[in-house]
Chains A and B, each alone.
Chain A
Amino acid sequence: MICSFCNKSFKKNQGIDTCSSCPVKGCGMIKCPYCEYENILETRFSSILKRFIT
């Protein structure tokens, strides 16, 4: 995926996991390893919708 802040490419599994230390688990964010900006992860519903829109 491409970071919305710094525009650099990274793989989902390279994103920094913060969920383990957050009490509000499952917010669906993934942190860019380069700038640490939190990007939204696609949900199942949004990816189905994506297929229709794009």
Chain B
Amino acid sequence: MVNCHSEENLSKKQNNLKRIILIGQPNVGKSLLFNKLSNSKLIVSNYPGTTVTFTSTKTIINNKKVELIDTPGIYSLNTITKDEEVAKKIILKADADVYINVIDAKNIDRMLHLTLDLIKLKLPLILVLNMSDESKKCGININSNKLEKLLGIPVIATIATNNQGIIELEKRIFKPNISKLKIKTKSKNILDVSISKQKIIDKILLSCVDYKKSKKDIFYEKISTYMTHPVSGIIILFFILYFALFKFVGEFGAGYLVDIIETQLFENIINPFVNNFLLEYVPWAVLRDLFGNQYGIFTFGLKYAIAIVFPIVTSFFLVFSIIEDSGYLPRLAMLIDSFFKKIGLNGRAVIPIVLGFGCDTMATLVTRTQETKKERILTTLLLALAIPCSAQLGVIFAILSGNVIALLIWFLIMILVFFLIGYLSSKVIKGKKPYFYMDIPPLRIPKISNVIIKTIARLEWYFKEILPIFILASVLIWFGKLTGIFDLFISILQPIVSMMGLPAKTAEIFLLGFFRRDYGAAGLYDIKHLLTVNQLLISSVVLTLFVPCVAQFIVMFKERGLKTALGILFFITPFSFMVGYLLNLVLMLFGVVL
């Protein structure tokens, strides 16, 4: 009989029953092993962490009545999820006779961290190396006898799917051992504890595991090392930026695809049709302006969303999904950890920064997970200042792709602003120095189906979000035009843009950019033929640095408080115009015509 309980229902151990508990990370085959030992009809799912509640059964092993308990998946005793909390409570409260730690043999180096945690608790333990066939296929040959001696607990290799090792496990199941292995750490700091444990694991594995790596594994390992090396890692990063973002998103997505949809579809077919239709059937000019003409819902809002933003974000999401699925992002975090430390951040800031290239608003929300207040404020500032969102980035690549020097200048200004402002801010904002630690998952070849599905899901969510905003913005501009408010804002911005050597028309794109970053970017794309390369460069720099959009500002206010949000806003606005003004001045002084 199989029962499902909540952890509070963990019954008192009965005297005539031996209590056995299975512990392990998700997807190591605990549930299958539970099934094999109990012969019960528990459903074995390959989906991670089957349920928060635990499963137990009463069965007979070696003629002894036992109570077998299957715990939810747990990565470490520093619990994070509810599943892990339940598993930890069971481990600590169950007072079991035998604790079986099940691990995936092919990932033994990462799995032994939990084993050492359990050893430290002085529990009567058995280690099960499950999926040992897969580990052999991967060229990982584990000498379980040697491992047993080194750990001081019984070690049994199993292949639960075809019953191998189950009989041996049943034979030795009532002979667990409390290991005498000493695990000393310098401090209770998570980083120090992890480093100490890793040193012990490395020492143990060196003497009892023989790695016969395939050519593929060696190749992946080399690539992984190159990706995190300060020199080769930067070269690889530039290689990815050039081909994935500049060539694919910039030239192909924002250049070729946008040209087809915007020019061929909207400029030649949809917009003329809408305008002619309105002219013929709608006698009121005010209504005609709402739906058509320069800022109409169809001819402006939909055109920006479908003809400009859609192809750019599609190509960006496609590239992003490939990068994400390859396992490159954690390596990028390791690579830039040392650079980020100089500005008071660490590799963990990669997560919000990378997400910022998708949407800065969502990325600002992620900053709450950073360890120190200093990091949170710094990352929020840098996201608002120097990280363009996907559509902005695509448009900038597209409009500057014709002139590599202009693109390089834009890139260098962004890098300079990012590190200079980051460095100076880290000196002003006081706080603790952060540290960064994470397990690096293996590199993998992205599955095409997974990439397509992720891209489509992202696009679907993105359009659900932006279409109403683009339409709303069209209506607001229409209303602003009707009441003169729009022109008033434009007239305020016009002297500023002329100081930067930009035509009056560019004032509109900065105003649009405050609605949404991608809206401003689409606006810049729309008027690119009116600007010189110098003006395109200055506009791109100012638009990237310019104030965050409304949504991002609201998140900044909610996450960091009004004082910080306003502080960032009042710093960024004049700063972006000042950089634009200085850039124009430098270009003019040196007579640079790009």
Contact = CB atoms under 8 A, between A and B. Distances in A.
8 contacts: A4-B324, A5-B351, A7-B441, A22-B365, A27-B362, A35-B438, A37-B355, A38-B362
B252 to A, nearest CB: 22
A9 B460 CA distance: 24
A27 B465 CA distance: 7
B359 to A, nearest CB: 7
B551 interface: yes
Interface in B358-372: 359, 361-362, 365-366, 369
B82 A28 contact: no
B555 A23 contact: yes
Contact of A11 (B48, B359, B362): B48
A33 B52 CA distance: 15
**A-B pairs with the 8 shortest C-beta distances?**
A9-B48, A7-B441, A28-B461, A36-B369, A53-B449, A46-B457, A9-B26, A4-B324
A10 B28 CA distance: 14
Nearest to B323: A4
Contacts of B48: 1-2, 9-11
Contacts of B439: 6
Interface in B4-26: 26
Interface in B328-367: 329-330, 351, 355, 359, 361-362, 365-366
B351 A37 contact: yes
B80 interface: yes
B81 interface: yes
Nearest to B75: A8
Contacts of B165: none
B528 interface: no
A53 B452 contact: yes
Contacts of A54: 449
B558 A46 contact: no
Contacts of A8: 26, 75
Contacts of B97: none
B80 A26 contact: no
A50 to B, nearest CB: 5
> In terms of DSSP, what is the predominant structure of the interface of chain B?
helix
A33 B81 CA distance: 7
A11 B438 CA distance: 20
B445 to A, nearest CB: 14
B102 to A, nearest CB: 15
A38 B453 contact: no
B490 to A, nearest CB: 26
A5 B551 contact: no
B551 A23 contact: yes
Q: Looking at chain A, what size class is its interface with the partner chain?
A: 35 or more
A7 B331 CA distance: 13
A45 B460 CA distance: 9
B224 interface: no
A35 B362 CA distance: 15
A29 B297 CA distance: 28
B379 to A, nearest CB: 12
Contact of B329 (A4, A45, A47, A53): A4
B186 interface: no
Given A22-B555, A40-B461, A14 B83 contact: yes
B465 A24 contact: yes
Contacts of A11: 48-49, 81, 83
B456 A38 contact: no
A14 B81 contact: yes
A27 B552 CA distance: 14
B73 interface: yes
A25 to B, nearest CB: 8
A14 B82 contact: yes
Interface in B309-336: 324-325, 327, 329-330
Given A11-B48, A43-B460, A46-B457, A22 B83 contact: no
A46 B366 contact: no
B89 interface: no
B551 A24 contact: yes
Interface in B426-468: 438-439, 441-442, 449, 452-454, 456-458, 460-462, 464-465
B324 to A, nearest CB: 4
Nearest to A3: B441
A46 B460 contact: yes
A14 B325 CA distance: 21
Contact of A6 (B330, B361, B365, B452): B330
A21 B557 CA distance: 11
A43 B107 CA distance: 32
Contacts of B369: 31, 36
Contact of B456 (A31, A33, A35, A45): A45
A40 B454 contact: yes
Contacts of B554: 23
Given A10-B81, A22-B555, 6 more contacts: A21-B559, A36-B369, A38-B362, A38-B366, A41-B461, A46-B454
Nearest to A15: B81
A1 B462 CA distance: 21
Contacts of A43: 456-457, 460-461
A5 B369 CA distance: 15
B425 interface: no
A24 B81 contact: no
Nearest to A4: B324
Interface in B547-594: 550-551, 554-555, 558-559
Contacts of B329: 4-5, 37
B441 A6 contact: yes
B27 interface: yes
A22 B362 contact: yes
A29 to B, nearest CB: 6
A40 B457 contact: yes
A45 B453 CA distance: 9
A24 to B, nearest CB: 5
Contacts of B454: 40, 46
